[in-house]
Chains A and B, each alone.
Chain A
Amino acid sequence: MFAGCGENIDPNEPQGFIQAKGSDTMVNAIQMVSEEFMKEYPHIFIAVTGGGSGVGIASLINKTCDVATASREMKPKEIEIANQHGVHPREIVVAFDGVAVIVNKNNPVDKLTLEDLHNIFTGKATNWKQFGGKNLHIVTLSREVSSGTHMYFKEEVIQLGKKDSKEEFSKETLLLTSSQAIVEEVAGNEEAIGYLGMGYLSDRTKALRIAKSGEAYPPTIENVLQKTYPLSRGLYAYTDGEPEGVVKRFIDFTLSPAGQRQFIETGFVPARTSPVEAGAQSHTGGMIAR
């Protein structure tokens, strides 16, 4: 049927097309995984797009992608809607991540508690002076509502983990369309505070140490693995039913050492650790802790 290509493909060689859509936090890591994957399986093509975890989950339900990537778990309501549409999501944890809170490098504040973050992002605290900083207004930056990181942050910080909480992000909060836009604004604005996945940390911004109760920890790979960093979470891939065929190959590859290495290289925490990876981990961890 596809003889038009003029190339003789070994019929036993796997071929196909995979659409992976969702989390912006994960998009760079997934892109690198799929590039490695396509080196190994040159006849399987993978299209990786971002847009936010909500976008991925919605496309899985609307059957417009094969793999939905998400930086949050699917909500029971979403699973219910999926079932109504004849989609049965299967969850796979592919990596771990810490949600880092970043400020401008000239901001003297370098640690906050979850309570402080709650007060800042709900608009109850509006001046950096209250946290030992300069006498400056606080500009809160958030991702758009389609972002899994937005959803995670809302549950853990705005609602402080209470399911029935009616707290909302302050209306003054800027909703930016990408993690990169948050980096740009924080790097140039001394009053700004924003949050994003660890993969977007760089030396252009400063990551705060965060305390739940007691000691404050920086977002490093070790602290996420040991769950001492309070804003630690899983990164997920969802498929419709058990993955099979080329999708199964892709998921297996993602969880293999070669796939997991891409997560380490983009600044995330691997879901599966082997002795070899443990060495690489502490190396990257050291770099981020800086």
Chain B
Amino acid sequence: MKRLWRRISEPIIELCIRLSGIVVVIFVFLIFLFLLRYSLSLFRHSPLGRFLFGHQWLPISDPPQFGVIPLLLGSVLVTFWAVVICVPLGVGSAMFIAEVAPKAIKNVLKSFVEILAAIPSVVLGFLGIIWLGPVLRDTFHLSTGMCGLTGSLLLAFMALPTIISISEDALTGVPRSYREAAFGLGATRWQTLWRVILPSASPGIVAAVMLGIGRVVGETMVVLMVTGNAPVIPTSILQPLRTLTATIAGEMGETVGGSEHYYALFAVGLVLFVITFIINLIADLFLRRARK
């Protein structure tokens, strides 16, 4: 009886698991189609070239200008600096937690990293407005603290938990025998960490970094609150700029379904989707290599 039950139940469970996997893929595909369909409606009104290469974003002017370049460069610049700040910090912390720290400190640090991930982005944005912005303004003698760097710093802070936990997993995953071999050859602790463990964990670390970047590119609330949202083509991280995500969040409420502006925001969403898709794809390729 029991055996019979198992013979029936196992294929059912397997089917359910397989179905849920397929459903997720279908959803992603449907979202992509949905974005594509609405974006294409924009290109019926204004040509694709004007959207992709236009350098002005003036959605409520007459006639409106939907040039994605200032927004795209805003996102790229903020993300670049966030990565420059958070990658060394994140990988460094992961190395400390995984290899150097005594067990007691390790546990405390790990739980703090988890708490860091739990801070809502709107709270960070608020801190950015009332504290970080003014501090940066006074430090760099800027006209205003609402600039790209404020956004980059807060985003770096938000990407840290992702980078630290995944890199730490990668470092801990390096086989014990590597360490023993290195020590056996007379390597110091630092040499072992830097020359043996880090290179063998590198695919996992690259994946961690890519996932961190994905998080930074897609983050909305913080950049909407602190970067000033001026739709200029940014030349420096110390000036106000406008990102793709902040544009969608700031403007979506006022668009009427079916208007040109409405479709333009979907097109911005498509650009964002393509960027995060590529980043996640790269992360996935590296993770796969790490598993081999």
Contact = CB atoms under 8 A, between A and B. Distances in A.
Interface of A: 51-55, 57-59, 61-62, 78, 81, 85, 137, 139, 144-146, 151, 154, 168, 171-177, 181, 184-185, 188-189, 191-192
Contacts of A139: 143-144
Contacts of B231: 171, 175
B130 A184 contact: yes
Interface of B: 58-61, 129-130, 134, 137, 143-146, 224-225, 228-232, 239-240, 242, 250-251, 253-257, 259
B146 A62 contact: no
- Tell me what chain B mostly uses at the interface: helix, strand, loop, or mixed: loop
B225 A177 contact: yes
A151 to B, nearest CB: 7
B146 A58 contact: no
B250 A177 contact: yes
A175 B232 CA distance: 11
Contact of B259 (A81, A146, A191): A81
B254 A52 contact: yes
Chain A interface, DSSP helix/strand/loop, else mixed: mixed
A146 B257 CA distance: 15
Contacts of B58: 168
B254 A146 contact: yes
Contacts of B230: 171-175
Contacts of A51: 253-254
A184 B226 CA distance: 12
A54 B130 CA distance: 27
B229 A174 contact: yes
Contacts of B59: 145
B124 to A, nearest CB: 15
B253 A172 contact: no
Contact of A146 (B134, B242, B253): B253
Given A52-B254, A55-B253, A61-B256, A174 B240 contact: yes
Contacts of B224: 177
Nearest to A147: B254
B228 A189 contact: no
Contacts of A85: 256
A181 B254 contact: no
Contacts of B242: 175
Given A171-B232, A175-B242, 20 more contacts: A52-B254, A54-B254, A57-B256, A58-B253, A58-B256, A61-B257, A62-B256, A81-B259, A139-B143, A139-B144, A144-B251, A145-B250, A171-B230, A172-B239, A174-B229, A176-B228, A181-B225, A184-B129, A185-B129, A188-B145
